[in-house]
Amino acid sequence: MATTWTDRLAELGIELPSVVPPVASYTPAVRTGNLVYTSGQLPVVDGELSARGKVHEGAEGVVRPDEATAAARVCALNALAAIDALVGIDAIVRVVKVVGFVASAPGFTGQPAVINGASDVLGEIFGDAGVHARSAVGVAELPLGAPVEVELIVEVA
């Protein structure tokens, strides 16, 4: 049984990525009191978006919902990397809230299922401490053409 979140990540074979550098005037994460807020994290892997475009089912030239769900998972891991760099992953007491934005093609209403990619990985890592409040919002556009963006609020010791 894992004794720290670092141990749990190792058990799951999850390696946190490097912190994604800001693309504008902000910082990846800020602590106030016992809360850490992350800036919106995009699905950046090795300096590049893992997917690009709007999300919709069955349409040509769009990001499929399963691809967007995988991208939401990447966003959550990028947010955890920002938290880890600020206070250390083992300082997390619980995940408080997830806010997810999905660049949605007209008629797409599956935003909650897409953001499950973030929620599910947080549950895998943190168990009961990963159960959180959440918003999943469809938007017209996201920075750099990303299909999804995720913010976290966590309580820390």
Q: What is the pLDDT of residues 128-139, one digit of tens each?
A: 999 999 999 999
Contacts for 60 with CB less than 8 Å, ≥ 6 apart: none
Band the pLDDT of 2: cuts 50, 70, 90. low
Q: Where are the domains of the chain?
A: 5-16+29-156
Q: In this model, does residue 80 exceed pLDDT 80? A: yes
Q: Which secondary-structure segment (H or E) carries 6?
A: helix 5-12
User: 1 to each of 9, 46, 76, 122, 126, how far by Cα in Å?
Assistant: 12, 31, 23, 17, 12
Q: In this model, does residue 121 exceed pLDDT 80? A: yes
Burial code (b: 16+ CB inside 10 Å, e: under 16) for 81-119 equals bbbbebbebebbeebbebbbbbbbbeebebbeebbbbbb
Contact 56, 110 (CB under 8 A): no
pLDDT of residue 76: 98
- Give per-residue pLDDT as tens, 29-46: 999 999 999 999 999 999
pLDDT of residue 62: 87
Q: In this model, does residue 151 exceed pLDDT 60? A: yes
pLDDT of residue 92: 98
Band the pLDDT of 1: cuts 50, 70, 90. low
Output the average pLDDT for the chain.
96
Domain 5-16+29-156 belongs to what architecture? Answer: 2-Layer Sandwich (3.30)
